[in-house]
Amino acid sequence: MTTTLITGASSGLGAEMARQLAARGEDLALCARRTDRLEELRSEILAAHPGRRVALRTLDVTDPEQVPVVFEELRAELGGLDRVVVNAGLGKGAPLGTGQAAANRETATTNFLGALAQTEAAMEVFRAQRSGHLVMVSSMSAMRGMPKSMTTYAATKIGAAFLAEGLRTELHGTELGRSVDVTVLYPGYIASEMNEQVAQQTPLMVSTEKGVRAMVAAIEKRADSACVPALPWAPLSVVMKHAPLGVLKRLL
């Protein structure tokens, strides 16, 4: 029986991951700031899958002292954590130098420093257990520096991805590396509360259920990295990385 901890699980991708992983037989440790939504999600999951165990905790990932305490509480309650999905994030942002630095700082704090705190806490558990699976939810925006309101968000997402990539490099060829896996997910346009406005502007948006199904498939395969859904995002990742700047701006 696999036990998976998911942060940012009260809505969007995190909540749908919880539903789909529960359907696959996994026990869950769910964290978010909005406990009322977590309670509703737990009731929904247990109604559909009475045999599952679902533990809940309130968690603000920007509190570096709270994160390891919550992770350890959940590990103790469930008897271990096989997987941690670093999912909590914000999509706020504004063009640099336009007087809205607070929004950019909030996104940077949550998406990068929060991811760092979660990774630290997860690896403390995994090192003690001598096993585990870290899943970092990045973004297709991490493929290239993004303009305007996306600039800070994209920078945080490549930073989070590099935390995971650096960890994989450290573990490669070691005894611990044979029992601890690291996966980085690069979601494209998947419907969620964070991108409701984007949904009206692009034909590439897929439903939350379909997008998360691709994420869960990559997680279960323990892929090193995956653009999800693979089509069109795997080929588009090459374009995003290597297209001349003028071409990229027209695509965006």
Query: Could you give all domains of the chain from N- to C-terminal order, each with its CATH number?
Result: 3-251 (3.40.50.720)
Whole-model pTM? Answer: 0.95
Counting other chains too, the contacts that 96-102 makes at CB distance below 8 Å and 24 or more residues apart are: 96/151, 96/152
pLDDT given at position 124: 98
Helix (H, G, I), strand (E, B) or coil at 221: helix
Catalytic annotation present for 153: yes
Residue 199, pLDDT above cutoff 50: no
Give mean pLDDT, residues 192-217: 78
Residue 200, pLDDT above cutoff 60: no
Residue 244: Cβ within 10 Å count: 8
Average pLDDT for the chain: 94
Nearest to 233 by CA among 247, 218, 220, 250: 218
Residue type at 150 in one-letter notation: M
pLDDT given at position 251: 77
Token pair, residue 121, equals 């806490």
CB 140 within 8 A of CB 233: yes
pLDDT given at position 196: 57
DSSP state of 181: E
Q: Which of 112, 153, 189, 233 is catalytic?
A: 153
Q: What is the pLDDT of residues 8-54, one digit of tens each?
A: 999 999 999 999 999 999 999 999 998 999 999 999 999 999 999 99
Lowest mean pLDDT among 71-75, 78-82, 247-251: 247-251
Residue 198, pLDDT above cutoff 70: no
Distances (CA, A) of 218 to 12, 38, 56, 97, 139: 18, 24, 25, 38, 14
CB 5 within 8 A of CB 200: no
Return the percentage of the chain with pLDDT > 70, whole number.
96
